[in-house]
Amino acid sequence: MSPIMEEILSDSNSILTSDEPLSPTLQPQQRLKARPTTQLSFDAYSSSSSGSSIRSFNTTSNKVDTGADFLLGLISKSNSATSSERSKISPFHNVKSGKRPLIKLTKEASSEEEEIDQQDTCRDSDVPLDHNGDDSIISRNDISVISDDKEYSGYRRKYGHEADPLLIYKDPQSITWSRHRKHFFILSSAGKPIYTRYGEETRISSYMGVIQAIVSFFADADDTIRSLGPLYLVAVSRTNESEMQLRDQLNYLYNQIVSVLTSTQLTKIFEQRVNFDLRRLLGGTEPFLDNLASTMGDDPGFMFSSIQCVRMNKDLRDKVGSIMQSIKPQDLLYAMLITNNKLITLLRPKKHSLHPADLHLVFNMVNGSSTFRSVESWTPICLPKFNNKGFLHAYVCYITSNVCLLFISPDKDKFFECSEAKNLLKEELSDCNALQEIEEASQNEGYSIADIGVPGLRHFIYKSRTHVQYTSPTLVAPYSDPRKRQKPLKVHYYVSPNETILGWLTSSFELYAAFGPLISKSALTSSSHTLLRWIKKEEESLFIVSSPVF
């Protein structure tokens, strides 16, 4: 047994027996006290990394005379015939129904909400309510007090949308819309909607006003929101993800916008016109934000700030790399072969490595649009970690049905050189049969847990800190929901009726593994070491251990 394992497994203080995540941002939870005031809490911040964020918010209802003035925000929209009667229903109407809206503003609703919360607390004390003073991301497991069936039928009775069963998920006025596990909203500092994960931006503009109001409320008390750019990004979640995880995800969304506009343009636009409708410039790129929003919840690479590579014989990878090296076009920054969000190989200048966050944006771009599959493309892209002030230009082309080639260049006039280099690359790879071999490797589903032969082991994620890459076997039941994983600090050992979880961090790797529930500590230890030995043995095929540079 390694010293660290020994220390952890024998030290009762370090062995956690609850499923509380070890994230340093999570404080011991306090139960929400019933207050006859409006409780509104979510995590909002403006794309950044320092300062304080919006926490929770209380307000009492007030009557106000007819206002002395109105303000208007205008969101222009392409002319369409989709305008419907639904727009006449105020978003706040669903609050009055006393169900569970994500953003609550009326006194009546909040009182009821708190009663339900207290019942929840009694019924299931393990459920974190996260209504403590420091962390107020809404995250609950048991949000469904009312069964889905009843909810839907109630909605249909009220609004008669039987014809389109999906509509209720898209319509912000519906209860179902508010019951998505995780919402993302992006708005300008003037309160204009820029992006919503669900529903349509114009429909949620009232919510955007409320968010802007909350931000202003705190700004008024000199509690300014953390901020980098001129945008507000909001996550409303009940996924049990930590504040840190959500913060990371909002940063990714922000970076996606920067990748389309550059931070130079973004800043300039709002300096010139604070009321600018950014959707005029971002229009058409929403699928990339959508794709990112859903991938971030499932792909551990985002949480671990690392990437996954295709498992492949090292000799083959080296051969492909050296061929790429030999055909690379002029003024190249990066060349890479990718498949299904995994890296096959990367060619780069000696002094410019590639940040995993930028690589995730590249993956997201290639995956977010099916058009790349059919044509050679040339597109400007800003990679914020490399340089957020300007555009690079990406040549994108699938060279087999699964393998996509990218050349990234600072020169906007290099399309034809890249296209020629692609032809050459394809030719040379075919000549030595490597094209066929990488296509086969890319079709490979990965390895299964059975291939490793570690007793009791069900699933694991291993991140090599040295290579900034992770590896993981294909997911089998019951681990089809990766969102349940959480990030421990050093070692996390947890036994539940269904499984035994080990999380183990060292300076060179992070291991997260799930075993059967009945495994003994000594068997767990020896199994973990068997697994680590297997990973060591397979390291050169699981990871890209060296990549060609120029």
Partner 1 sequence: MNQYVNKKFSNQYKATIGADFLTKEVMVDDRLVTMQIWDTAGQERFQSLGVAFYRGADCCVLMFDVNNGKSFETLDSWRDEFLIQASPRDSENFPFVVLGNKIDLEESKRMVSQKRAMTWCQSKGNTPYFETSAKEAINVEQAFQTIAKNALQQETEDILDFPDPIKIDSDANKYEACGC
Q: Who's near 198: CB < 8 A, 6+ residues apart? A: 169, 170, 172, 177, 180, 183
| Closest by Cα among 71, 44, 64, 72 to 56 | 44
Site for partner 1 in 285-314 (CB under 8 A): 305-307, 309
Does the protein bind partner 1 through residue 402 (CB under 8 A)? no
Does the protein bind partner 1 through residue 105 (CB under 8 A)? yes
Site for partner 1 in 162-201 (CB under 8 A): 188-192
Least distance in angstroms from the C-beta of 272 to partner 1: 7
| Residue owning tokens 């699938």 | 398
Give the pair of three-digit tokens for residue 339. 């498949």
Convert 185-218 into a string of H (helix), E (strand) and C (coil).
Answer: EEEECCCCEEEECCCCHHHHHHHHHHHHHHHHHH
| Closest by Cα among 458, 452, 469 to 532 | 452
Least distance in angstroms from the C-beta of 483 to partner 1: 25
Q: Who's near 153: CB < 8 A, 6+ residues apart? A: none
CB nearer to partner 1: pick between 238 and 467: 467
CB atoms within 10 A of CB 336: 20
- Give the ranges where 369-414 is alpha helix by DSSP (H): 384-387
Does the protein bind partner 1 through residue 76 (CB under 8 A)? yes
Span interacting with partner 1, options 141-149, 380-388, 432-440, 512-520, rule CB under 8 A: 380-388
CB nearer to partner 1: pick between 84 and 153: 84
Q: Which of 18, 50, 62, 480 binds partner 1 (CB under 8 A)?
A: 62
Q: Which of 14, 37, 369, 387 binds partner 1 (CB under 8 A)?
A: 387
Span interacting with partner 1, options 61-69, 148-156, 475-483, 521-529, rule CB under 8 A: 61-69
Does the protein bind partner 1 through residue 50 (CB under 8 A)? no
Does the protein bind partner 1 through residue 418 (CB under 8 A)? no
Q: b or e along 451-473 (b: 16 or more beta carbons within 10 Å of the residue's beta carbon)?
A: ebebebbbbbbbbbeebbbbbbb
Give the pair of three-digit tokens for residue 532. 């680590």
Asked whether 249 and 237 are in contact (CB, 8 A), the reply is no
Site for partner 1 in 439-468 (CB under 8 A): 466-468
3-state class (DSSP) for residue 148: helix
Q: Who's near 79: CB < 8 A, 6+ residues apart? A: none
Residue 322 is which amino acid? S
Question: What are the φ and ψ backbone dihedral angles of 36, each rounded to 5 degrees?
Answer: -80, 40
CB nearer to partner 1: pick between 25 and 84: 84
Residues in the chain: 550
CB nearer to partner 1: pick between 364 and 525: 364
Does the protein bind partner 1 through residue 508 (CB under 8 A)? no
Total chain residues near partner 1 (CB under 8 A): 95
Q: Which of 13, 24, 50, 71 binds partner 1 (CB under 8 A)?
A: 71
Least distance in angstroms from the C-beta of 402 to partner 1: 20
Span interacting with partner 1, options 248-256, 259-267, 488-496, 509-517, rule CB under 8 A: 259-267
Does the protein bind partner 1 through residue 67 (CB under 8 A)? yes
- Which of the 8 DSSP states describes residue 484? G
CB nearer to partner 1: pick between 93 and 537: 93
Per-position x/- string for 127-166, each x denoting binding to partner 1 as judged by CB under 8 A, each - no binding: ----------------------------------------
CB nearer to partner 1: pick between 264 and 340: 264
Span interacting with partner 1, options 41-49, 407-415, 437-445, 512-520, rule CB under 8 A: 407-415
Asked whether 244 and 71 are in contact (CB, 8 A), the reply is no
- Beta-strand runs (E) in 223-285: 231-237
Question: What is the Cα–Cα distance from 366 to 404, expressed in whole angstroms?
Answer: 8
CB nearer to partner 1: pick between 257 and 354: 354
Does the protein bind partner 1 through residue 215 (CB under 8 A)? yes
Q: b or e along 264-288 (b: 16 or more beta carbons within 10 Å of the residue's beta carbon)?
A: ebbeebbeeeeebbbbebbeebbeb
| Closest by Cα among 133, 134, 131, 109 to 120 | 131
Does the protein bind partner 1 through residue 550 (CB under 8 A)? no
CB nearer to partner 1: pick between 136 and 139: 136
CB nearer to partner 1: pick between 102 and 105: 105
Give the pair of three-digit tokens for residue 21. 């995540």
Q: Which of 22, 29, 55, 73 binds partner 1 (CB under 8 A)?
A: 73
CB nearer to partner 1: pick between 79 and 374: 79
Site for partner 1 in 314-373 (CB under 8 A): 333, 343, 346, 349, 351-356, 359
Does the protein bind partner 1 through residue 68 (CB under 8 A)? yes
Q: b or e along 204-224 (b: 16 or more beta carbons within 10 Å of the residue's beta carbon)?
A: bbebbbbbbebbeebeeeeee
3-state class (DSSP) for residue 44: strand
Least distance in angstroms from the C-beta of 70 to partner 1: 4
Asked whether 97 and 104 are in contact (CB, 8 A), the reply is no
Least distance in angstroms from the C-beta of 539 to partner 1: 12
Q: Which of 64, 122, 163, 477 binds partner 1 (CB under 8 A)?
A: 64
Does the protein bind partner 1 through residue 59 (CB under 8 A)? yes
Q: Who's near 166: CB < 8 A, 6+ residues apart? A: none
CB nearer to partner 1: pick between 126 and 220: 220
Does the protein bind partner 1 through residue 106 (CB under 8 A)? yes
